Amino acid sequence: MRKRARVIYNPTSGREILKQKMVDILDVFEQAGYETSAYATTAAKDSAKNEARRAAEEGFELIVAAGGDGTINEVVNGIAPLKKRPKMAIIPAGTTNDYARALHIPREDPVEAAKMVFKKQTIHMDIGQAGDNYFINIAAGGLLTELTYDVPSDLKTVFGYLAYLVKGAELLPRIKPIQMDLKYDGGEFKGKASMFFLALTNSVGGFEQIVPDASLDDGKFTLIIVKTSNLVEILHLASKVLNGGKHVDDPRIIYKKVRKVTAKPVNDRMQINLDGEYGGDAPMTFVDLKQHIEIFANTDEIPDRAYTDEIDRIREAEKNFVKGVDKLPDKE
């Protein structure tokens, strides 16, 4: 039987460009050998999540998440709890498109993004679990994370990432540290911090240097704790991020690779942000699910050290090189 693909798309993403290009998108997956159909998400809660789970349980081999990072998050939440999970493909049409950026999937043309399926390149991606919810890119807590809640959705659509920058400038003077208790692999932080976040990729809010050494499938989050809440110091840290990721060794930052984190508030309420949306209040435990979902990616463009399949190939090549050198005759 022919393989089946289900395109789950947000009809309002990217100025409705997905609706305009849907016939061409479906044709791409048909050419790739999939009997393909589409589902337009609705305003109903968990629309994309429920459809992704239904399609997976019915045996679809591929689910395509088309829309912003929120749509991708919902699709992942639909299939992540299942024992048998279909492959995924990504067609970005949102504001920042962090996930597509990390996977080097074209972000300007949805048809070109769909064509990634022809390359037959995939990565078994890590995802994060936070209680009963899952996230693909970041989990965060602290007052600084309120930024994404405060940007109206229509403003995001019209002005894109500029909306976040404008709102961020307004919010920064109101930031204050809160008492946190964060337990992680072999360590603990107790004290005041303006925020913490756990990153799964190198692309956070459109910036690629916040986690310069991110790995997509090593089973570990990058934990970053920002201890300062001073406006000038935060701006200084931001400049170090943009200047080649030099913030990682700054004493105002804790930067760790971890598999599991438990976050507890001490005095103040701590809201948790999962992929840019409210995900509940702490206390909460976060676990990295190693290589949990296979996703089409442009691995030709992803740095070799960013995923273990390529690392394994490099190590094998290194071993073979050493063996070859050992077999060379001694120079007399």
Residue 188 confidence (pLDDT):
97
Which pLDDT value is given to residue 13? Answer: 82
Residue 7: per-residue pLDDT = 98
Q: What are phi and psi of 20, to 5 degrees?
A: -70, -30
Instruction: Say what the pLDDT of residue 324 is.
Output: 56
Strand (E) or helix (H) holding 257? strand 253-258
Concatenated DSSP letters of 205-230: TTBSSSSTT--SSSS-EEEEEE----
Copy the structure tokens of residue 6: 């289900």
Cα–Cα distances (Å) from 135 to 6, 132, 221, in that order, read 21, 10, 12
Strands 195-199 and 187-193: unpaired
In the numeric block, which tokens belong to residue 121?
């390149």
What pLDDT sits at residue 242?
76
**Residues 6+ positions from 121 with CB-CB distance below 8 Å:** 296, 297, 298, 299, 300
pTM of the model: 0.84
Closest CA to 232 of 300, 153, 175: 175
Q: Using an 8 Å Cβ cutoff, are 198 and 222 in contact?
A: yes
Query: Rounded distance, CA 269 to CA 88, Å?
Result: 36
Catalytic residue among 277, 294, 310, 316: 277
DSSP β-ladder status, 195-199 and 138-141: antiparallel
Write down the H helix ranges in the chain.
17-31, 47-57, 69-79, 98-102, 110-114, 116-119, 147-150, 153-159, 161-171, 231-242, 308-326
Q: Does residue 277 carry a catalytic annotation?
A: yes
How many helices and strands in the chain, by DSSP H and E?
A: 11, 16
Do residues 74 and 99 touch, judged by C-beta distance below 8 A? no
**3: amino acid identity, one letter:** K
Low pLDDT (below 70) residues in the chain? 143-175, 205-207, 305, 308-332
pLDDT at 162: 44
Domains of the chain: 3-120 (3.40.50.10330), 135-290 (2.60.200.40)
Residues 92, 62, 208, 274: is their CA dihedral positive or negative?
Answer: positive
> Tell me, what's the pLDDT at 298?
95
- Under 8 Å between Cβ of 306 and 314: no
